[in-house]
Amino acid sequence: TSVIVDPYAKGILSRRRYGELGPAHLDYKSDEVLGLAPTWPQAAAFLPKPGEEDFDWEGDTPLELPMEDLVIYEMHVRGFTAHPSAAVQAPGTYLGLIEKLDYLKELGVNAIELLPVFEFNELEYYSPIPGSTTGEHRFNFWGYSTVNFFSPMARYSFAIASGADGAALQQEFKLLVREAHKRGIEVILDVVFNHTAEGNQLGPTLSFRGLDNRVYYMLAPLGEYYNYSGCGNTLNCNHPTVRKLIVDCLRYWVTEFHVDGFRFDLASILTRAHSAWHTSTPSPVAGAPPAALHSGGAIVDETGIMTDGAGVPTGTPLSDPPLVAAISEDPVLRETKMIAEAWDCDGLYQVGAFPHYGGRWSEWNGTYRDTVRQFLKGTEGPWAGNFASALCGSPNIYANTHPAETDWWANNAGRRWRGNRAPTASINFVSAHDGFSLADLVTYNDKHNNANGENNKDGENHNLSWNCGVEGITERLDVNRLRQRQMRNFQCALLLSHGVPMLQMGDEFGHSKAGNNNTYCHDSELNWVDWRQVADDSHGFARFTRQLIQFRHTHPELRRTSYVSDNDIQWHGEAAFKPDWTDSSRLVAYTLKKHAPDAGGLYVAFNSGHTPKVVELPHWHGRAWKVVIDTGKLAPYDILIPDAELAPEEAEQAQLAATMWTAGGYYSVLAWSTVVLESVPEAELAALRSRGRGASAAGAALARAGGPLTPTPQQQRAERASKRAASPGGLMDEIRASKAADMVQ
């Protein structure tokens, strides 16, 4: 007999601190001891106190930000503030995250996608990592192994660690959502409804298995577990009982915690036919409730294949999956954002044709990721054309109703869901938690996962990365400069593309995981944000990312709800209006018009070749081209938007210098670099030239008269650094300013 957790429990209490073992002196094999092991001590559901005062939401309401306006930040609650440099009161907790919300607001993200925060056991895999020289143990750090769907992860709570009860756990998570909303940031949860922590037949009995194994899990006739999740079991999602549990759970998180959306891990499992068993009819016991969850024999077809009770073989992908339909049509979830990871571990791939029910769902676009990586590292093939499509929101995937011959799902049961969608169907990303970080994408050709203790056999081998000439960390200046340029190129592709961009935590400043592309088991600096690196920003990459996000926010033409037409976009090559779509092409350039007539637009060019290109700029009557971004330049001249690191006059001087090219209708795009120019009225550029000439003449006159000279940009930057040094935290700012000044060309 097992003591199991109620699947509808609203709070699970067990160990109070993250990574803390349960009592080691107990005999967990004894019938008199509850729990399974020090890593699995007995958990209990907390009971709300009658009449307990509810949380004060202070009038909080859903933000309901338009999908096209989102910049999503995929993040880990503990990893964000666990590093000592975070200098927060409650590191690694919801409260610690609250303390750093202003950083996210300043960065410009307006949606955080939290890796799993449903109750899970971080000690599920706890054991010494073979070969570790520091005695490191293996953790379930990411949390993709749910114990209970209704309870916030208790050991992410400062209140629980301080001895509080389940009500305080709920209030701490509510506080996080409320404070995020105050800053204009939505909260999206990464949810795992494809499997649970109970694993296969060798796993622990914690909750669902003890209630009715045959209802909650997808099973074969002899009781074997289907493993579409790759984690030992598969939740029987489309069974009526399980379907109700999932919808009830989503409704609860929306109504009780005010969350704004969900990203569904391995969402294709939600479309598979469930397994079904005959209901048993035990002898009735007077006064006892009906045994509705007790199952009898398997329901099979004439060949002995398990079915869903309606003749559909278990596991078959359904054209009209009941669970996805119920979520899509639920009135409580009507304005909630739904994002599908539209594949599973058995090869079902539904990107472009996940059942979306009138566009209710967006999808993680894995094809976008692969295409951008291929083009920007200069791979031979059809990548120029594919990259151009990715920049436009992937209409070849989401607008086109005709799937490729190799797309099994979209040519069969998924045909009705293919095409006729908007750019916002595409969640664009270059990197995510399960793979190389952005910095590692340009530093390593191969994975380096030896720290996981699995002889480097785990993790993805197909990374589409390029180390820029040297594997791993190097002191070669040319390689490091190229890596910085490539990181900026990737950020430009992501944040200039139509669709919805998603950044991975740490990519905004260049966090490295030392070439490890599968850091699921590390509660260490591999997965923690190092806030010293954030503050230092020695290469100016964090500034570049921050300004690029703001550039996206201020340019509606980058946040479209419909696909571009020939009236909106023109493609170019080295010569204007003459693009090169051949397999050897390494240049993609285009002009994108603003929505309003005669309001100008942008010229964007990506050069992924090893030689510079001189591009001809298209002539727009009465307008001139002003340089905004050039990743071939060193910081802070890589993005000419004035801020604390780049004075307005410095930006103007750099833009004035660029007119040496643009005034003649050309611009030089260095190897492996990206440029963005903005169309402005000719009068604006003329005024810029006039100010430049005026400043030069005034300086010369003052010099002849022995008067004070206008400080040089280097002197101005040094003066700003001196002022910052006098304020709290000024020393780090002074160091950063000094390094930036040294890098000016």
β-pair partners for 590:
571, 604
Record the tokens describing residue 727, joined without a space: 């304020």
Rounded-to-integer distance, Cα 260 and Cα 646, Å: 36
Q: What is the DSSP string of 354-400?
A: S--TTTTEEEE-HHHHHHHHHHHTT-SSTHHHHHHHHHTT-HHHHT-
β-pair partners for 317:
272
Rounded to a whole number of angstroms, the CA Rg of the chain reads: 28
202's CB contacts (< 8 A; 6+ apart) are: none
Question: Which residue in 265, 308, 363, 652 is the catalytic one?
Answer: 265
**Vertex 429 angle, CA 426 and 430, to 5°:** 145
Rounded-to-integer distance, Cα 463 and Cα 301, Å: 42
Q: Where are the alpha helices (DSSP H) in 422-505?
A: 438-441, 477-496
Question: Which residue in 179, 341, 645, 678 is the catalytic one?
Answer: 341
Rounded-to-integer distance, Cα 427 and Cα 421, Å: 13
Q: Of 375, 349, 497, 369, give the one whose Cα is nearest residue 424.
A: 497
Rounded-to-integer distance, Cα 236 and Cα 314, Å: 10
Give the torsion sign (CA, 687, 692, 693, 695).
positive
Give the torsion sign (CA, 642, 648, 649, 651).
positive
Known catalytic residue: 265? yes
Per-position b or e across 121-145, b if 16+ CB within 10 A of its CB: bbbbbbeebeeeeeebebbbbbbbb
Rounded-to-integer distance, Cα 173 and Cα 258, Å: 10
Q: Of 437, 464, 468, give the one whose Cα is nearest residue 372.
A: 464
Known catalytic residue: 341? yes
Q: Of 615, 612, 623, give the one whose Cα is nearest residue 683.
A: 623
Rounded-to-integer distance, Cα 436 and Cα 443, Å: 10
State phi, psi for 702 to the nearest 5 degrees: -65, -40
- What is the rounded (10 degree) CA torsion for 206, 208, 214, 218? -100
Q: Where are the alpha helices (DSSP H) in 444-540?
A: 477-496, 531-536
Could you tell me if 344 and 268 are in contact, meaning their C-beta atoms sit under 8 angstroms apart? yes
Contacts 24+ apart (CB under 8 A), 164-170: 165/13, 165/46, 166/10, 166/11, 166/13, 166/45, 166/46, 166/48, 167/11, 167/46, 167/48, 167/49, 167/52, 169/11, 169/13, 169/46, 170/10, 170/11, 170/55, 170/256, 170/257
Rounded-to-integer distance, Cα 480 and Cα 648, Å: 28
What residues act catalytically?
265, 341
